[in-house]
Amino acid sequence: MKIVMKTVAFAIGLIIFFNQATFAQIKPAFKVIAIAENGGHHIQYSKAARIWLDKLAAENNFAIDYIENTEKINDAFLSQYQLFIQLDFPPYAWTPTAGAAFEKYIKEAKGGWIGFHHATLLGEFDGYPMWNWFSEFMGGIKYKNYIPTFASGKVRVEDKTHPVMKGVPLNFTIKTEEWYIYDKSPRPNVKVLASVDETTYRPDSKIKMGDHPVVWSNSKVAAKNVYIFMGHSPDLFENEAYTTLFKNAVFWAAQK
């Protein structure tokens, strides 16, 4: 009888052990919320980003959810996530509740943030006013113009020691982009990690801003954050330098 009881206890112990091990493997290391518009001329980028992110999440044991507007965003909703990715979603037309919750999320370092491309479409658009706090978050800038005919350009890393730039070549080319320009450079108010060399535009363009940062982080706020301007064309996910930058940003910003 004792032998039977010991055998049963051992079997139960094995079941508990394997269940715990399985749970540990399934439980995600962190959770991400990504927001992107479900239409417009950035939709192909967003679709490609979702495929790439889903693969990255599956391979690295983190979970990711997607939303297409700000209706769900409030304090409780954001508390589920350690990282907020703003793919191609502008800083206007947010609900007041969502805007307040997002500001709190950043100010109190509830999680990290990565913004792409459309996140610096700052100004008065579609009848919506400038989101002044977001403008300050992005270095005090306002959107001014862009290259509607697109151009390739060479990006130059300025801070190779930053974790987001690990393994990223010091110079890499973006084949197709509509390079935004702003009313001023954000450099005095942010940490610039990379900039585009406007002399390398092909075809050349008269739409230039001189000092032209394209990757930066604002260390004046509590949350880990990085803005990556490039985010228009789906072929970016065929660019190893870009995907390395994106991947580094995810793991850096998600960790407190």
Query: What is residue 32's predicted lDDT score, i.e. its pLDDT?
Result: 98
The CATH number linked to 235 is: 3.40.50.880
Query: Beta-carbon neighbour count of residue 7 at 10 Å?
Result: 10
CB distance 165 to 205 below 8 Å: no
Q: What is the pLDDT of residue 79?
A: 98
From first to last of the 256 residues of the chain, give the pLDDT tens digit.
555 445 544 444 434 344 443 334 579 999 999 999 887 778 899 999 999 999 999 999 999 999 999 999 999 999 999 999 999 899 999 999 999 999 999 999 999 999 999 999 999 999 999 999 999 999 999 999 999 999 999 999 999 999 999 999 999 999 999 999 999 999 999 999 999 999 999 999 999 999 999 999 999 999 999 999 999 999 999 999 999 999 999 999 999 6
Q: Which residues pair with 243 in a beta bridge?
A: none
pTM, rounded to two decimals: 0.89
Range of the domain at 49: 2-254
Can you give the pLDDT at residue 11?
42
Relative to beta strand 171-177, strand 151-157 is: antiparallel
Provide CB contacts within 8 A for 225, sequence distance 6+.
106, 112, 113, 114, 115, 137, 217, 218, 253
Number of domains within the chain: 1
